Chain A
Amino acid sequence: MSDSVADQVRAIIAEQAVLELEDVSLTSSLEDLGIDSLGLVESIFAIEEAFDISVPFNANDPSESDFDISSVGSIVEAVRQLVAEQKA
């Protein structure tokens, strides 16, 4: 079964990083993919629009936000959780 949340998040990040979808794996970090702080803020905006959710994220302290951005996989998990919470 295809994982649509993961596919959509990977597609958003791939577009931001100007990479092919297959180059974005769940274990990649944003840094590996060459996404800087502005790229991150844009990716989060795209995720909010795509899933119609609100992502708690403050660029002043990314590590302390509830939204874990340490890897593509962690973002996918965080999005899944937010979708479940906010669409419940």
Chain B
Amino acid sequence: MHRVVITGQGTINALGKSAAETQEAFREGRCGIGPLEIRDVERLSIQIGGQVKGYDPNAEFNRQQIALYDRYTQFSLLAAREAIAQSGLVFSGDLSAEAGVVLGTAGGGMNTQDENYRAVYEEGKNRVHPFVVPKLMNNAAASHVSMQYNLKGPSFTVATACASSNHAMGQAFQLVRSGASRVMITGGSESMLCFGGVKAWEGLRVMSKDACRPFSANRNGMVQGEGAAIFVFEEYEHAKGRGADILAEVIGFAMTSDAGDIVMPSKQGAARAIAGAMRDARIDPKDVGYINAHGTGTAANDKTECAAVADVFGAHADKLMMSSTKSMHGHVIGGTGAIEALACVMALHDGVIAPTINYDEPDPECALDVVPNTAREAKIDVALSNAFAFGGLNAVLAFRAI
């Protein structure tokens, strides 16, 4: 068993175009959710989201690249560039042969699908661009990252809806821990804020029209976001040997399936994943100082998640902090766990706990310390990150300060 550490992080999301900008927004409790600026928005009943604004693809990529890169791939490449640059790694020889990239996404190239269905169905066109398939496929982002950085080891995409990037990071963690690879690039990306993407979510009637207020008694649903976050997971001795800056250690991972309902969460499934991650990390519940919650802001998730945490931690549940940063960046679906891992790194590395903003009224069914509205300085040793997906697929990661 090898130890696994994080030596690079990168992101683009509604809160910022780098990890530093995003973590600054976490510290300030800034909200990145606002009016959607997308085609046909007037035909949507949900018109807000955590959209990446002020972003010009032409400033980052050339015309040939844009022909191949869906927005979710663009986000992945920008986040990977930042993370890999920070790590200082260059992939060649043996390292190139074993290093790979495991990313999470739920929808893949959703904008590409939306635009091209519109072209053939609404506009009656009988021809689409030749690269529609390689642009929309769920593994496009992982493949382009592998090509850009010469990563020739195990690379694939994990699609488990809202748990995708936690499952992906869990796979990368296990590949490094087992010795299969000394370095893995991992995280997730999502860009579903297009007419078809939001319209589909509207149908479920779980979206808020005004704000994401996790754990607050007046919460009225989730708000979608978009973006990517990517990390460099590296074997500890390898990182130490080359004098790399280590941001945090990845110490445990567990996944469970509810085998229950396609949309309703299960307390037992969540609790088993949380307990499993701690067991995998060989830590006691009392070691955990912070949990980055799944915290979607729906009635069902938040009370189920709090009940699961209360069950697993017992009396210690009242001592730990648990916040939902979705209140700021929105629910980034298949990329959300990766963006939320930035809050775990901030907690462990900088000693600042990101808040749950828009918290107005206590809910007796969510009676935990949710770090309401204002970030908090606290020295903690271990952080967990929860992700509970539609389909009852749960994935929890454990991180430690180093």
Q: Is A1 an interface residue (CB 8 A)?
A: no
Per the bound structure, the CA–CA distance linking A60 and B46 in Å amounts to 15
Closest to A41 in B: B205
In the bound complex, what is the Cα–Cα distance between A44 and B206 (angstroms)? 13
Interface contact B220-A44, CB-CB below 8 Å = no
Does A57 sit within 8 A of B, measured CB to CB? yes
Q: Is the CB of B203 within 8 A of A59?
A: no
Question: Chain B residues with Cβ under 8 A from A60's Cβ?
Answer: 206, 208, 219-221, 298-300
Mark each residue of chain A from 17 to 46: 1 if its CB lies under 8 Å from any CB of chain B, else 0.
000000000000000000001100100110
Number of interface residues of B (CB under 8 A): 15
> Which of A38, A41, A58 has the most chain B CB atoms inside 10 A of its CB?
A58
Contact B220 A61 (CB under 8 A): yes
Task: Indicate whether B147 reaches chain A with its CB closer than 8 angstroms.
Answer: no
Given A58-B220, A60-B219, A60-B220, A44:B263 Cβ within 8 A: no
Q: Is the interface of B mostly helix, strand, loop or mixed?
A: loop
Please tell me if the beta carbons of B205 and A61 are within 8 angstroms of each other in the complex: no
Whether the Cβ atoms of B264 and A61 lie closer than 8 Å is: no
Q: Scan B73-96; emit 1 where CB is below 8 A from any A CB, else 0.
A: 000000000000000000000000
At the interface, is chain A mostly helix, strand, loop or mixed?
A: loop
Contacts of A38 in B (CB 8 A): 262-263
Residues of B within 8 A of A37 (CB): 263-264
Q: How far is the CA of A38 from the CA of B264 in the complex (A)?
A: 9
CA distance A57 to B221 in the complex (A): 12
Encode B290-303 as 1/0 by CB contact (under 8 A) with A. Answer: 00000000111000
Question: A37-B264, A38-B263 are contacts. A57–B205 as well, Cβ < 8 Å?
Answer: yes
A41 to chain B, nearest CB (A): 5
Can you name the residue of chain B whose Cβ is closest to the Cβ of A45? B203
B69 to chain A, nearest CB (A): 35
- B204 beta carbon closer than 8 Å to chain A: yes
A38 to B263 alpha-carbon distance, docked (Å)? 8
Most interface-central of A44, A54, A57, A59 (chain B CB within 10 A):
A59
| Most chain A CB neighbours (cut-off 10 Å) among B205, B208, B219, B220 | B205
* A-contact bits for B33-61, CB 8 A (1 contact / 0 none): 00000000000010000000000000000
Q: Please name 23 pairs of A and B residues whose Cβ atoms are closer than 8 Å in the assembled complex, sorted by A.
A: A37-B264, A38-B262, A38-B263, A41-B204, A41-B205, A44-B205, A45-B203, A54-B45, A57-B205, A58-B205, A58-B220, A59-B204, A59-B205, A59-B206, A59-B221, A59-B299, A60-B206, A60-B208, A60-B221, A60-B298, A60-B299, A60-B300, A61-B220
Q: A38-B263, A61-B299 are in contact. List 10 more A-B contacts (CB 8 A).
A: A41-B203, A54-B45, A57-B205, A58-B205, A59-B204, A59-B221, A60-B206, A60-B208, A60-B298, A60-B299
Interface positions of B (Cβ within 8 A of A): 45, 203-206, 208, 219-221, 262-264, 298-300
Q: Which A residues lie at the B interface, using CB under 8 A?
A: 37-38, 41, 44-45, 54, 57-61
